[in-house]
Amino acid sequence: MHYGSAYEDEIVGKAYDRGLMLRFIRYVHPYRWLALAALVLLPLSAAARLAQPLVLKAAIDDHIVTGRLEGLPLVAAGFLLLIVAESLITFLEVWLLQYLGQRVMLDLRLELFAHVQRLPVSFFDRTATGGLVTRLTSDVEVLGEMFAAGIITVVGDILFLAGIVGVMLWLNPPLSLITFSVLPLLVWVAFTFRIRMRKAFREVRARLANLNTFLAETIGGMSVIQLFNRQAGERAEFSRLNGSYRDANLPVITWDASLYALVETLSSVAVGLIIWYGGGEVLRGALTFGALVAFIQYIEKFFGPIRDLSAKYSIMQGAMAALERIFGLLDTAPDHDAGVSGPAVSAGAPPIETIRFRNVWFAYQEDDYVLRGIDLTIRRGETVALVGETGGGKTTVTRLLSRFYDVNRGDILFNGDDVRSIPLSELRRRIGVVLQDPYLFTGTVGFNIHLGDERARARMDDAARLVGADRFIRLLPGGYDEQVRERGSNLSAGERQLISFARAVAFDPEILVLDEATASIDTESERLIQDGLAALMAGRTSIVVAHRLSTVQGADRIVVIHRGEKVEEGTHGELLAQGGIYARLYQLQFRD
């Protein structure tokens, strides 16, 4: 498809927005010399293209028609030179523009990535991952396309077209006017067909998105599909989506083919007009034969840029829409001090003696309170277990502690100071979080423990030994260098847990926040994990969302969170004696 940009569908607005462009120019600024070089080349290549038919005219009128052969080789050599010059300049021009585009895209992607890393967790609750990935890839790519075919080349095209009009008028005004009579029709065809195509293209993109979503889901859930013998059903659905995608493509193809056929026809009509009227002029002696040939050449060179102008217009619209989305993302406020790698905790920082939740209220969404007036004090070295029925708000308590979210009302105090007064990077160095579903990265087992941090790397072996992860790691063919596949799919759930424990120990946090896995694990792994957990918590202030009896029993204090409120607090024995919610939970959940 000619210039059938994959992003035309999302186009709604202007092809040129001054504000967006001015902001974008800042990204081009470091490479302004490249841009300038490309700009200087534009009129040069246009001139080389423009001069060719004139040289041809000279060859015909001054030499071929008059039969004067001397000098003809010189003219031919000049013609050749122009062609070589045009191709060299065009090469440089295209190369420079694309190179410039690549540099700018690289910078922009880096900036976007760095920005996304600093966004608060709540942002990711509201934003689909797919959309974000699109911002960083396709949207940035559209800007590259703008460099390749957009604004700068449009300027070159316009220069070239104006040049052709000027030369034609200079050669023969009446013939020029007659030739240009097809122009309005040409412009009309180019733009109406392009608009039709764009509408059809929007449908194509929508259906492609459906197809992609379906594929991502089915591939992700392949084991479920196979277990439940859903292959035939899924195939039928895929076939339907696939067919609908093909059907949407048909009108695009039709419009595209028609556009090209019509432009070709119009170009032939123009040539016909030149031969019909121009031929008469030649016979009447008002036009030289060479000029007639030059006219035909010019008109052929004229049609291409006009036809593509409408496509370039679409590309510019797409680029403006992409810029708007990219800048929109960049304008999303980051966590105020969420540096990617913050300063190390100053060695002399006093230890955290108390953590206090004081009348904490929190809602993920407007007024839909998930925590209501939580009061809780945790002292240094204590292990506090949070228990309660599912959805009660236990995990939310731990999220507030590491400031993934901020409280709506009340406050969280570390040694009496508001948690918001501690730089995020420092807070997160002091708190180690082990999530229920440990996230493993593609890389080695070793990397998944130290995550590239030098001090953690030095402690890696000890950490793995301490939590008992070394036993299985040593049995892996590659040991610490064994590759972890996508999210750790080549490791068992227990092994993944142990790696995440080792990670926490290697970073040696003062406070440990642990969301215990609910998934049941075989008894052997269970024992390993219990030992690992005990090692992990030893000597640290620990807050554990507890799902296991042994953790609950081993805790210094148990806090029962029920529908967002703290309803009971005490030791295992005390709470059992109370005969309240904990006692009931114990009967139902922990007993077995």
Ligand X SMILES: Nc1ncnc2c1ncn2[C@@H]1O[C@H](COP(=O)(O)OP(=O)(O)OP(=O)(O)O)[C@@H](O)[C@H]1O
Instruction: Confirm or reject binding of residue 581 to ligand X (CB under 6 A).
Output: no
Is 429 or 548 the residue whose CB approaches ligand X more closely?
548
Give the nearest distance from C-beta 552 to ligand X in angstroms: 13
Instruction: Confirm or reject binding of residue 364 to ligand X (CB under 6 A).
Output: yes
Q: Strand ranges (DSSP E) for 251-395? A: 354-363, 369-379, 383-387
Give the nearest distance from C-beta 568 to ligand X in angstroms: 15
Closest CA to 482 of 456, 443, 450, 449: 443
Give the nearest distance from C-beta 245 to ligand X in angstroms: 34
Give the nearest distance from C-beta 523 to ligand X in angstroms: 23
CA 7 – CA 587 distance, rounded (Å): 58
Give the nearest distance from C-beta 365 to ligand X in angstroms: 6
CA 323 – CA 43 distance, rounded (Å): 28
**Are the beta carbons of 420 and 466 closer than 8 angstroms?**
no
**Are the beta carbons of 175 and 226 closer than 8 angstroms?**
no
CA atoms within 13 A on the CB side of 551: 28
Instruction: Confirm or reject binding of residue 290 to ligand X (CB under 6 A).
Output: no
Q: Which of 45, 52, 395, 551 touches ligand X (CB under 6 A)?
A: 395
Is 3 or 404 the residue whose CB approaches ligand X more closely?
404
Which of the stretches 179-187, 263-271, 384-392, 492-500 binds ligand X when contact is defined by CB under 6 A?
A: 384-392
Which of the stretches 190-198, 267-275, 393-401, 452-460 binds ligand X when contact is defined by CB under 6 A?
A: 393-401
Closest CA to 21 of 327, 423, 461: 327
**Are the beta carbons of 438 and 499 closer than 8 angstroms?**
yes
Give the nearest distance from C-beta 240 to ligand X in angstroms: 33
Instruction: Confirm or reject binding of residue 272 to ligand X (CB under 6 A).
Output: no
Q: Which of 35, 306, 370, 558 touches ligand X (CB under 6 A)?
A: 370
Q: Which of 71, 174, 391, 452 touches ligand X (CB under 6 A)?
A: 391
Give the nearest distance from C-beta 388 to ligand X in angstroms: 6
Q: At what angle do helices 289-330 and 173-180 cross, to 10 degrees?
A: 50
In sequence order, the β-bridge partners of residue 383 are 542
Give the nearest distance from C-beta 121 to ligand X in angstroms: 8
CA 491 – CA 471 distance, rounded (Å): 14
Is 12 or 519 the residue whose CB approaches ligand X more closely?
519
Query: Per-residue contact track with ligand X, 115 to 154, x per CB under 6 A?
Result: ----------x-----------------------------
Q: Write out the binding residues for ligand X, residues 537-556 only, by CB under 6 A.
A: 545
Helix or strand or coil: residue 502?
helix
CA 196 – CA 201 distance, rounded (Å): 8
Residues sharing a CB contact under 8 Å with residue 349, sequence separation 6 or more, in sequence order: 426
**By CB under 6 A, how many residues form the interface with ligand X?**
13
Is 101 or 564 the residue whose CB approaches ligand X more closely?
564
Is 238 or 405 the residue whose CB approaches ligand X more closely?
405
Give the nearest distance from C-beta 307 to ligand X in angstroms: 51
Distance of CA 281 to the CA centre of its chain: 60
Residues sharing a CB contact under 8 Å with residue 56, sequence separation 6 or more, in sequence order: 79, 290, 293, 294, 297
Instruction: Give the phi and the psi of residue 61 in degrees, each rounded to 5.
Output: -70, -45
Instruction: Confirm or reject binding of residue 392 to ligand X (CB under 6 A).
Output: yes
Instruction: Confirm or reject binding of residue 396 to ligand X (CB under 6 A).
Output: yes
Which of the stretches 2-10, 146-154, 389-397, 494-502 binds ligand X when contact is defined by CB under 6 A?
A: 389-397
CA 443 – CA 445 distance, rounded (Å): 7
Give the nearest distance from C-beta 570 to ligand X in angstroms: 19
Closest CA to 371 of 401, 327, 341: 401
Which of the stretches 58-66, 143-151, 177-185, 394-402 binds ligand X when contact is defined by CB under 6 A?
A: 394-402
Q: Which residues contribute to the site for ligand X (CB under 6 A)?
A: 125, 364-365, 370, 388, 390-396, 545
